[in-house]
Amino acid sequence: MRTIRAIAASVWMGWQRDLEWTNPLLSLGVKAIAPAAAVLSASIVYWYGSSFVGRFSPERLAYIVVGASLYAQIATYAYVPTAAISEGKWTNVYPQVCITPTSSIPYLAGRCLASFTASVPIVIVSLVVSYYVSGMLFGLSPVLIVSSSSVSMFAVALLASIPAVLGLGYLLGSYSIFVSRFEWALPSYISGVLMIFSEALFPATVLPWPLSLFSEALPFTYFMRASRAALIYGSISAYAVSMSYALLGGLLFLAVGLVAFRWAEKRGREKGLIDRKVG
């Protein structure tokens, strides 16, 4: 119960930081601009290249729109633990959180969940904007299945991505404990890697071995597949298989992230890195 209260308090704090700097609806609207623009950019690149060779496909466009929208969400809230630790060192919030050894993990989990809940409307806005703008620009909209069952399956897939993203966040947070300069850079690099290996824009089969094997081992890949199975293909069997792998891989990712973070935090306490602001 204490852990749940700590996570809830951290979620509230995350909402205050992310949304309360202005009107919450305006804040969400501003945050949606960059992801929506990124999705449209990827769509235009595909349209231009495929139209040049005469192979434009609305289904492939939907593949790119869904993947790019979800990639933007993952990249956004996987970065939160790094930002929370980095900013917390400068504002003395994180050292206060670390006064008790069991406080930091619920704190970072709550911040991630706050970012997740704020990013879901952004994903929806990106999908809706891309759907209608693509129709106006290309004359053909992405082929998306919008029904109560497909939306429910998609919502469950979003929830299933949380363990994997939390695990990635704890791994990146482990790095942030040891450094105090340019700690923002590593999450940016990891986001670029995920764009290539998570099937955000193209299937893993186009990658040479063993890179394709690495892509197949990531839980984010199966999250993308489950979402597409719900919104594009309408395949319950493919959805169930992808969800199983996404959940199992996500839980493994979370376990590894927790072990790494606990070790990093222990070393940080021993070496006085928690209070260090300049590395």
* Local confidence pLDDT in tens for the 279 residues of the chain: 677 777 777 777 767 766 665 666 777 777 777 777 778 888 888 877 887 777 878 788 888 888 888 887 777 767 777 777 777 666 666 666 666 666 788 888 888 888 888 888 878 887 888 778 777 777 766 778 888 898 899 899 988 988 988 888 888 888 877 776 666 666 677 777 888 888 888 888 888 888 889 989 899 999 999 999 998 888 899 999 999 999 999 999 999 999 998 888 888 777 766 666 554
CB 71 within 8 A of CB 198: yes
Chain CA centroid to CA 12, Å: 19
- Does the global pTM surpass 0.75? yes
**Other beta carbons less than 10 A from residue 116's beta carbon:** 23
